[in-house]
Structure 1
């Protein structure tokens, strides 16, 4: 199954589709993309494509059992944070209420946070149940990859001394636009990754800079909790986040954020503060 798959609204219905160039072909399937991953049905694709401008994008997965995130997984990000090099993956969680799709808005209340930051990340989508799997086998359990923005309220994150609240505000995990299936992207460790705010490059790196590569992360996580189809793993962000810039840079109302990953696509989201 070599393709790009998306989830979207059209004609007041949730649909899934296959992306081909600048068009999307609906897949005739009674369910969401998570159910599609679980069931792996034979494809029944519409002959009539839709323009990408005709649809409302949804996160490719909107109801995972888990969103697992990895902190400090790029050497240059560890250095800019002045943190210690982790001996094992630093694991935390985000809640599903954070998920939004391509072209949706990142929204926050200024009475809750005034230090909203961006983090461009490669997201891994699990394809089948994984428990205590070896690193050599780990990529066989990956359904595909997409772009993510691990949006973070730094005042809450640093003030709380733990990360759940600052990482889990509504809309704080843009995901998409689509999933590139793993058979189309066999090496996730050689992808350029970039974040732009209002067209200005803020982060530019490569996934080969990860301290713990994707296969090792899947192996490590599967030893601690069972991974299920549709689970999302955010694999960490490179250097350039706003909090560690001099002076610090935070998102504001009206900003446009882009996360682009080579061979996957570009995730675009506006910002709205209230």
Structure 2
């Protein structure tokens, strides 16, 4: 199931994306279900079951054209900071270490353990929302396409073997970064948490739709030019390792987000760096999630 949060101009609602270009409004089809994505996720199968029935039984005239609504981030305001993983693709770890912007490595390109940091919840924006690059006073705005895990089952000290049991689904995050701020402040939080620096979407795909997450392919384009292209199988630390590591002493809750890392091809990987400019268009594609597109302001 491809779940979305959308606005019809009056209020935010959750729905199911059908046939790629239509939305079933779950508030209308299943009025007893929670009206927001976090509440929907927390109910697990008790929400997915009725929603699935509603999709199968929905008459054609109950479906709303996507063009008639505004898609928002699937989780417009996460309950907690977005967990992120740094330097988690082999070639990106090397390009970042060589870029001169990495003050975390001590000269080591491939990390021995996962690098975990967070992004501020207020940085989240939705599909087609402009990335406010003008908020970076250093004019060093960069893109990072990332497959993102959505947690569905709470747990602490989750073993690798059970990790996928705790995953509700997947979405896409663009971990937009002010590179000079990232380098200047050593820790990455500030350079990655400016307002609007976390585009998310276009939907949340439930885990049952992804049979082999390692087989997923991601492509990032800037103004139509392919900048990043990778198989998720190239992760240094795979998804079970990330969940096991993060949950060792910290409880993961339904609705928590884990952005799994970005591959090679970010702006600072070029000489000279290719920072985002006003008017640029960034598009990140991972099927079956779709394409997350955002202009730069």
Which range, TM-score by smaller chain?
Answer: over 0.9
Higher mean C-alpha displacement, 57-66 vs 160-169? 57-66
Counterpart residue number, 1:35: 39
Whole-Å separation in 1 of the counterparts to 2:43 and 2:287: 29
Whole-Å separation in 2 of the counterparts to 1:202 and 1:164: 24
Structure 1 pair 110/95, CA: closer, same or farther in 2 (3 Å)?
closer
1:65-111 deviations in whole A, cap 9, x for unaligned? 23100000000111212342111100001010111111111013356
Counterpart residue number, 1:93: 118
Find the residue that maps to 1:36 and give its secondary structure.
helix
Whole-Å separation in 1 of the counterparts to 2:267 and 2:278: 15
Counterpart residue number, 1:66: 81
In the alignment, structure 2 segments of 5+ residues that lack a partner are: 28-32, 98-107
Structure 1 pair 11/62, CA: closer, same or farther in 2 (3 Å)?
closer
> Residue 187 of structure 1: CA displacement?
1.8
1:235-268 deviations in whole A, cap 9, x for unaligned? 0000000012111100011111001113221000
Whole-Å separation in 1 of the counterparts to 2:91 and 2:217: 15
> Residue 162 of structure 1: CA displacement?
1.3
Give the TM-score taking structure 2 as reference length. Answer: 0.88
Higher mean C-alpha displacement, 195-204 vs 43-52? 43-52
In the alignment, structure 1 segments of 5+ residues that lack a partner are: none
Structure 1 pair 111/24, CA: closer, same or farther in 2 (3 Å)?
closer
In terms of fraction of residues, the more strand-rich structure is 1
Give the TM-score taking structure 1 as reference length. Answer: 0.95
Counterpart residue number, 2:105: none
Aligned positions of 1:218-233 closer than 5 A: 218-233=243-258
Counterpart residue number, 1:173: 198
Do the aligned residues in 2 keep the contact of 1:34 with 1:63 (CA within 8 Å)? no
Say which one has the larger Rg.
Answer: 2
> Residue 138 of structure 1: CA displacement?
0.4
Q: CA RMSD in A?
A: 1.4
Find the residue that maps to 2:296 and give its secondary structure.
strand
Higher mean C-alpha displacement, 23-32 vs 4-13? 23-32
Do the aligned residues in 2 keep the contact of 1:189 with 1:214 (CA within 8 Å)? no
Whole-Å separation in 2 of the counterparts to 1:111 and 1:189: 34
Indicate yes or no: 2:212 matched with 1:187: yes
